[in-house]
Amino acid sequence: MNWHRSTPAMALLGGLTWAVWLSAPAAVSAQDSRGEAVPVLSDAAVVSVITVLPGDRLYSLFGHTIIRVHDPDIGLDVGFNFGTFDFPQTLLGGAGFVARFAYGKLDYMLGTSRAPLDASAWYWNQERRASIEQTLDLTPDQARSLFALLVENARPENRIYRYDFFFDNCSTRPRDVFETILGPELKASLEDPGRSFRQLLDPNLVGNPGVDLSMDIGDLFQLDAVTLKLNGREVAHHLYTDKQVDALYRGGIQKLFVGNVKQGSNRLTAFFTGRGPSGDGHHPPRRSGALRKRRR
């Protein structure tokens, strides 16, 4: 996602993902650590968090977070989005994205956008996903420090990170930014839900059994073998080498079975054998998933 022009505070530079900040009569510019000009926010600047509710597509199942910085005095309105990804980095397009996402092998980046409220409108118009904007009670100095930190993180050499859907993602990164700026002033009122991370994910995965299973056997499960059963009868079994597992992590697709199925309802079950975080190799855990299809 590119920087876009927001007169008079910033301008797009030749399709790059970084901007040359322009000073204006109403804006005071400062130099960052690289000697580049960055606008200094006025005391009128407002920082808010835009939460986009979950959607139906894989990348939207758990919602989304955007940090908005709006300064009417210098004509700046920009959204910082830690949820940007690049499809070409994956093999086989969407299939590669699913595999790398589920196995924790996908790179995300901090993108920026002009007029983030327009993005919220797009989510509603295109995907019927509502957005909630919450204005943060920051002092002018805190807003300026947060903006400077976000700008630094959006640099090409800093913006890419390895996505983890538990510990490092487009929701945890904004939290980390606020913790850096606010320190002990930021306090969380959270109660122990009494459930595991994966149990907390389950309500968002209803209707997506394949994704649910993929996440269950992702980075916490080292695949060794798979057995495929059709209507209770074993039709395929494969024992994987390390190179084959790596190919699957990178989005490879394996043809396990080709055959005819009877008319009516058919049940296809896959059993995955491998090692979990505490697997000793002698009694490996198993995961299974079933898919029922009807042939007319």
Q: pLDDT at position 117, please?
A: 82
Q: Find out whether 271 and 229 touch, Cβ atoms under 8 Å.
A: yes
pLDDT band at 46 (very low <50, low <70, confident <90, very high): very high
Boundary residue ending a domain (185, 218, 241):
185
Distance CA 264, CA 294 (A): 5
pLDDT band at 72 (very low <50, low <70, confident <90, very high): very high
Q: How much of the chain, in percent, has pLDDT values that exceed 90?
A: 27
Residues 143 and 203 in one domain: no
Whether a cis peptide bond, with omega within 30° of 0, leads into 8 is yes
Does residue 4 sit within a domain? no
Does residue 37 sit within a domain? yes
Residues 176 and 222 in one domain: no
Residues 168 and 277 in one domain: no
Distance CA 68, CA 147 (A): 10
Residues 120 and 220 in one domain: no
User: SS3 string of 169-191?
Assistant: CCCHHHHHHHHHHHHHHCCCCCC
Q: pLDDT at position 88, please?
A: 53
Distance CA 229, CA 9 (A): 61
Q: pLDDT at position 94, please?
A: 53
Rg (CA), the chain: 23
For 9-23, the pLDDT digits (tens) are: 332 222 233 343 333
Span 66-71, mean pLDDT?
A: 95
Does residue 129 sit within a domain? yes
> How many domains does the structure of the chain reveal?
2
Residues 118 and 16 in one domain: yes
Q: Please give the residue range of the domain that contains residue 266.
A: 198-295
Of 181, 175, 183, 180, residue with least CA distance to 141: 181
Boundary residue ending a domain (185, 209, 236):
185
Q: pLDDT at position 217, please?
A: 57
Helices (H) and strands (E) counted in the chain, each on its own, are 7, 14
Residues 219 and 115 in one domain: no
Residues 228 and 128 in one domain: no
Boundary residue ending a domain (164, 185, 206):
185
Q: pLDDT at position 292, please?
A: 55
Does residue 2 sit within a domain? no
Does residue 158 sit within a domain? yes
Residues 156 and 204 in one domain: no
Does residue 192 sit within a domain? no
Does residue 5 sit within a domain? no
Residues 218 and 83 in one domain: no
Does residue 15 sit within a domain? yes
Residues 157 and 221 in one domain: no
Residues 205 and 143 in one domain: no
Q: Is the per-residue pLDDT at 138 higher than 50?
A: yes
Q: pLDDT at position 68, please?
A: 95
Would the pTM count as exceeding 0.85? no
Bigger pLDDT: 5 or 86?
Answer: 86
Residues 42 and 171 in one domain: yes
Q: Is the per-residue pLDDT at 282 higher than 50?
A: no
For 207-240, the pLDDT digits (tens) are: 766 666 666 655 556 778 889 999 989 999 999 9
